[in-house]
Structure 1
Amino acid sequence: MFLHRLLAARAAAGNPIRVGVIGAGKFGTMFLSQARRTPGLHVLAVADLSPDRARAALARCGWPEAQYGAGSFAAARAAGTTFITDDAMGMIAADGLDVVVEATGHPAAGIRHALAAFAHGRHVTMVNVEADVLAGPLLARRAAAAGVAYSLAYGDQPALIAEMVEWARAVGLRVVCAGKGTKYLPAYHASTPDTVWGHYGLTPEDAAAGGMNPQMFNSFLDGTKSAIEMAAVANATGLVPQAHGLSFPPCGVDDLPRILRPERVGGTLPDAAADGPGTVEVVSSLERDGRPVFRDLRWGVYAVFEASDDYVARCFREYGLVTDPSGRYAAMYKPYHLIGLELGITVAMAGLRGEATGAAQGFLGDVVATAKRDLAEGEMLDGEGGYTVYGRLMPAADSLALGGLPLGLAHGVRLKRAVAAGRPVGWADVAFDPAVEAVQVRREMERTFAPAPTSTLAAGALAAAQ
């Protein structure tokens, strides 16, 4: 990609890519740790609701205090230092900014910041996958109209999966399935912030000492984050979610092409999904009885692809690829991802070339709020990783057909009627404000990109919910 060479040239010319980071959490801090070591990047500003938290993050990842002592955006630009602020919108409008890194994790904030960035001609690196799944197809279209790049974040699993799918297709291989690994058992769907640490083998005291947020970590465990990330992959690649969502089959790296192939040849994928455009799936690092999977892919990503003919299958064998017993299905995988440490790839691609490292091309996957337990009329939903709902992946057509409430809007809204455990929550089940910007953007996205129904799941789910 020659990105380092191009960045070095920008540094030598005194014309670095100027970056503004919104959100000084774990992902943002990991990016900041590398940004100060990357030639040709200048972090113009860091915006966080707590400027003290931003300063602490910079200190924690090794920034000299003098590097973030500027008193204004203009002073930071002139001195090559970094301004700390709680005014994200002011940062987006600051003169000379090139790329906005949106790392808040708050879907409504992500939408607001992206739209403001497009209006000011800034590229957007959307670390906030929650916002991308809520309205990514529309945001990508708005970015294109503004002549800027809108991108998933390299280092996070969706962008790495999209890259792997793109590689396979670019060399003429048909992708059957792509996804990631995680730690999963069916009981985890009911996990709450009160029970999460036991599943991780931690005490609440250990977690608190490490500054770990129980609701955030619970979203990794209860299936929500997996659903969000696979919806983003589906929308970026054209892979279509299975009618039932995710199965989380136990699977190690050596078994990827055997497990993730069509049912007609002994795999777990519905034939229609595997033989058509391909699909997404998350593999578990645990057997259903809790035993660890041999050579698991808990931290990595993969793509399974099919040989087009006997010659290609023979090449798979000759060059040592692990295949299924037929020799026709093989897989590539990456065992780890480094999240924010790798984010500079996206920033450089956007700032140097105006290109994305994965972005929504259509609306194929959606994540619907699903009751963790019997929910009573009048209860307040608490969103991702909380006590009330988890996110279930669905084909977007089915989500729209049943009127499912997007997980990204299932926070701070009150139920108008009871919802039984395991049932999807619908728009009609909650009291929402149609004037809220995120609601309006989501509704526009649904109207603009509404796909045709693809399965019978919606009818069944709607009947069960009534």
Structure 2
Amino acid sequence: MSMYAKLKQRVTEGCPARVGLIGAGKFGSMFLSQAWRTPGIHLVGVSDLSPANAKASMRRVGWPDERSQTSSLEEASRTQKTFVTDDTAAMIASPFIDIVIDATGSPAAGIRHVLAACAHRKHIIMVNVEADALAGPLLARRAAEAGIVYSMASGDQPALIAELVDWARTIGLEVICAGKGTKYLPAYHQSTPDTVWGHYGFSEEQVAGGDFNPQMFNSFLDGTKSALEMAAVANGCDLSPPDDGLAFPACGVDDLPSVLRPVSEGGILPKKGTVEVVSSIERDGRPVFRDLRWGVYAVFEAPNQYVMDCFDQYGLKTDDTGRYAAMYKPYHLIGLELGTSVASIATRGEPTGSTNDWRGDVIAVSKRALQEGEMLDGEGGYTVYGKVVPAETSLRVGAVPIGLAHGLKLKNAVAAGQPVRWSDVAYDAANQTIAFRQEMESVFRAEKGLERT
């Protein structure tokens, strides 16, 4: 039976998947627009720092008011309604919730929510790639120990990339490179909230008239969000990040097999089995022909002449050797697709992509020369951007991850373009988020036989 058929069967049997959503922002709102339309999925609870804002989001996406007029999770579970609250801990602990969705974007909150889900045996879907990149390898282990599913969020690019990688490997093809598209120029790494709108081409009138968060938008532009997502893909698909960060080559869909192949064969890859992000604009600012700005891809290799002939016979675009080809999805619909993750867990007990190992990490790199006494302001800010590197590199350097590079005071000056190290900052080792991350570093440093330099 298909997942949809199994969801309808759950309706017939009176046991819909009972879901709790944390965070009613953009991603959460997109899920809200679809959740009540999908059979077999009952959104029992929505938790947000502002319940009033959450209810406003529900109304904005078409949620019937009468479906949120309830006084408790228990009542909501009996009446097919949705209880809105600001008590996330209580919602995760509730016996009326089976699956939790973290759509907060906060690394600290994400770690806290996963650990609570483990304690209360609730499956969890991590829209929160910030938390997954920061501590996902250890969180996934804790989830496995608790017997719960820890899943990427379908609709977000890492899960869609993982789906393409799984497809290729399942039919016997070696994945050479996988990733996504974005808009990129080298100057963007130094972008700040003051310069971000010029890079996007938004006018002052557009910014004034919309709900625009400059630091959030800047995290997409300065390369941090791409780094976070590629770390998640590397960790979930057993792929390697580039040794010195993403190259962001300008590349359209027709050129994926030619550009994303080994250097020895005319491409840019130092080795097979990597992640990379392709730019939708050339270095001189011209648009790339048939760009993949909103999409995802996987490049794979034919194992022999027979498969190469099949590629040709069925019109698959290859490089000039005929060995390398690509499959891609031109768009992703983020929260509109999230129900796939809920359905996969509810009907198959399977994640839509999940962290397996610690292969990639996102370290904080200075945007400019930073002085002793300055405060780091995190992803999308004025001081640092995120760069994905091999986990071994991060451990050897002793780098501060971008997910923790907020509110930390520098003890030492850091030159422009250099990693910020733990030894460069003052921090509270007892802080739950920092302690969990440092526990992960200790666990994997021992397993990899590494010493911090």
TM-score, scaled to structure 1: 0.95
Give the corresponding residue for 1:11.
11
Pick the aligned partner of 1:328 from 323, 327, 334: 323
The one-letter code matched in structure 2 to 1:291 is R
The answer to whether the aligner puts 1:427 opposite 2:427 as a matched pair is no
| Conserved 8 A contact 1:398-1:453 | no
Structure 2 counterpart of 1:67, one-letter code? R
**In 2, Cα distance between equivalents of 1:180 and 1:299:** 8
Q: Which moved more, 1:6-15 or 1:445-454?
A: 445-454
Q: Measure the CA separation in 2 of the matches of 1:236 and 1:382.
A: 28
User: 1:453 Cα deviation (Å)?
Assistant: 8.4
- SS of equivalent to 2:370: coil
The alpha-carbon deviation at position 355 of structure 1 amounts to 1.1
Distance (whole Å) between structure 1 residues aligned to residue 297 and residue 80 of structure 2: 40
- The letter for the 2-side match of 1:374 is A
| Residues 34-433 of structure 1 aligned to structure 2 (within 5 Å) | 34-270=34-270, 273-274=271-272, 278-433=273-428
Q: Give, in angstroms, the shift of residue 205 of structure 1.
A: 3.6
One-letter amino acid of the structure 1 residue matched with residue 89 of structure 2 = M
Deviation at 1:244, TM superposition (A): 1.3
Tell me the secondary structure at the aligned position of residue 113 of structure 1: helix
Letter in 2 for 1:386: G
Report the Cα distance in structure 2 between the residues aligned to 1:169 and 1:338, rounded to whole angstroms: 24
Shift of 1:452: 4.0
Structure 2 stretches lacking a partner, 5+ long? none
In structure 2, the residue corresponding to 1:287 is in which secondary structure? coil
| Cα-to-partner distance string for 1:154-193 (whole Å, 9 max, x where unaligned) | 1000000011111101111001100000000000001111
Q: Secondary structure at the match of 2:386?
A: strand
SS of the equivalent of 1:384 reads: coil
Q: Provide Cα deviations, 1:287-330, integer angstroms capped at 9, x if missing partner.
A: 00000000000000000011111111111111111100000000
Between the two proteins, what is the percent identity of the paired residues?
64
Tell which deviates more after alignment, 350-359 or 145-154.
350-359
Distance 1:66 1:214 in 2: 35
1:201-240 Cα deviation digits (max 9, x unpaired): 1024412422121111111100000000000000001101
- In the alignment, the residues of structure 1 paired with residue 135 and residue 121 of structure 2 have an alpha-carbon distance, to the nearest angstrom, of 19
Structure 2: distance between partners of 1:448 and 1:8: 43
Cα distance in 2 for residues equivalent to 1:141 and 1:23: 24
- Following superposition, the deviation at residue 448 of structure 1 comes to 2.2
User: What's the offset of the Cα at 1:108?
Assistant: 0.6
Q: Distance in 2 between matches of 1:8 and 1:78?
A: 18
Answer whether contact 1:384 1:408 (CA < 8 A) is retained.
yes
Contact 1:368 1:394 in 2 (8 A): yes
Which runs of structure 1 show a deviation greater than 6 angstroms over 4 or more consecutive aligned residues?
none
- Conserved? CA contact 2:137–2:235, under 8 Å: yes
Number of residue pairs aligned between Structure 1 and Structure 2: 452
Deviation of 1:352 after TM superposition, in Å, equals: 2.3
- The answer to whether the Cα contact below 8 Å between 1:419 and 1:425 also exists between their aligned partners in 2 is yes
Could you tell me which runs of 5 or more consecutive residues in structure 1 were left unpaired when the two chains were aligned: none
Q: Secondary structure at the match of 1:297?
A: coil
| Distance (Å, rounded) in 1 between the aligned partners of 2:208 and 2:2 | 42
Measured in 2, the distance between the counterparts of 1:24 and 1:449 equals 34
Separation in 1 of the partners of 2:236 and 2:384?
25
Find the residue that maps to 2:415 and give its secondary structure: coil
Identify if the C-alpha distance between structure 1 residues 19 and 238 changes in structure 2 by more than 3 Å, giving closer, same or farther: same
8 Å contact from structure 1 (residues 123, 351) kept in 2: no
Alpha-carbon distance between aligned partners in 2 of 1:52 and 1:430, rounded to the nearest angstrom: 38
Alpha-carbon distance in 2 for matches of 1:203, 1:425:
34
Q: Match for 1:443: what amino acid?
A: Q
Tell me the secondary structure at the aligned position of residue 184 of structure 1. coil
Look up the equivalent residue of 1:288 and give its one-letter code: R
The TM-score with structure 2 as length reference comes to 0.98
Measured in 2, the distance between the counterparts of 1:291 and 1:39 equals 45
Structure 2 SS opposite 1:281: strand
SS of the residue 2:277 aligns to: strand
1:437 aligned partner: 432
